Structure 1
Amino acid sequence: MAAEPEPLELDAGGRTVAISNPDKVMFPEHGETKADLARYYLAVAEPLMATARGRPALLQRFPNGATGQSFFQKRIPQSAPGWLTTTTVSTPNGTTSRALVLADVAHVLWAANMGCLGFHVWPYRAARPDEADELRLDLDPSPGVTFPMVREAATEVRALLGELGIAAYPKTTGNRGLHLYVRVEPGRDSFAVRQAAVAVAREMERRRPDLITGAWWKEERGARVFVDFNQNAPHKTVFGAWCVRARPGAQVSAPFAWDEIDAIEPDELTMRTVPERLARLGDPWAGMDDAPQSIEPLVERYRADLARGVPDAPWPPVYPKMPDEAPRVAPSRARGARGGGG
Structure 2
Amino acid sequence: MAGGDVEVLAVAGHEVRITNPGKVFFPERGDTKLDLARYYLAVAEPLMAAMGGRPVLLQRFPNGATGSSFFQKRVSPTKADPWLTTTKVSTPNGTVSDALVAVDLAHVLWAVNMGCLGFHVWPNTAADPEHADELRIDLDPSPGVGFEMIREAAEEIRKLLDAHGIASFPKTTGNRGLHVYARLEPKWDGYQVRAAAVALARELARLRPDLLTAAWWKEERGARVFIDFNQNAPHKTVFGAWSVRANPHGQVSTPFEWAELATIEPRELTLANVPARVTDHGDPWAAMTPQSLAPLLDLHERDMAAGLMDAPWPPVYPKMPNEPPRVAPSRARKED
- Equivalences for residues 102-141 of structure 1 within 5 A: 102-141=102-141
Q: Aligned equivalents of 1:238 and 1:38: distance in 2?
A: 21
Q: Is the 8 A contact 1:5 1:21 kept in 2?
A: no
- Equivalences for residues 38-49 of structure 1 within 5 A: 38-49=37-48
DSSP-derived class of the 2:57 partner: strand
Q: Aligned equivalents of 1:149 and 1:5: distance in 2?
A: 51
Match of 1:225? 225
Give CA-to-partner distance per residue, 1:87-133, whole Å, 9 cap, x none. 01001111101100000000000000010001000000000000100
Q: Aligned equivalents of 1:252 and 1:186: distance in 2?
A: 28
Give CA-to-partner distance per residue, 1:125-146, whole Å, 9 cap, x none. 0000001000001112221211
Give the drift of 1:14: 3.0
Q: Is the 8 A contact 1:251 1:271 kept in 2?
A: yes
State yes or no: 1:242 paired with 2:250.
no
State yes or no: 1:51 paired with 2:50.
yes
In structure 2, the CA distance between the partners of 1:78 and 1:10, relative to structure 1 (3 Å rule), is closer
Residue type matched to 2:157 in 1? V
TM-score (structure 2 length as normaliser): 0.97
Give the drift of 1:176: 1.1
Q: Aligned equivalents of 2:277 and 2:265: distance in 1?
A: 13
- Equivalences for residues 177-256 of structure 1 within 5 A: 177-256=177-256
DSSP-derived class of the 1:160 partner: helix
Give the drift of 1:78: 5.4
Residue type matched to 2:24 in 1? V
Q: Flag as ranges the 4+ runs of structure 1 deviating above 3 A.
A: 77-80
State yes or no: 1:337 paired with 2:305.
no
Residue type matched to 1:300 in 2? D
Size of the aligned set, in residue pairs, is: 333
Match of 1:29? 28
Residue type matched to 1:270 in 2? T
The gaps in structure 1 that reach 5 residues or longer are none
In structure 2, the CA distance between the partners of 1:5 and 1:145, relative to structure 1 (3 Å rule), is farther
Residue type matched to 2:155 in 1? T
Q: Is the 8 A contact 1:74 1:97 kept in 2?
A: yes
Give the drift of 1:294: 1.1
State yes or no: 1:307 paired with 2:305.
yes
Q: Is the 8 A contact 2:76 2:86 kept in 1?
A: no
Match of 1:165? 165
Give the drift of 1:16: 1.8
Q: Is the 8 A contact 2:215 2:226 kept in 1?
A: yes
Q: Aligned equivalents of 1:121 and 1:185: distance in 2?
A: 18
Q: Aligned equivalents of 2:159 and 2:182: distance in 1?
A: 14
Q: Aligned equivalents of 1:212 and 1:67: distance in 2?
A: 34
Q: Aligned equivalents of 2:134 and 2:317: distance in 1?
A: 21
Q: Which of 175-184 and 77-86 deviates more?
A: 77-86
Q: Aligned equivalents of 2:27 and 2:232: distance in 1?
A: 33
Residue type matched to 2:12 in 1? G
Residue type matched to 1:220 in 2? E
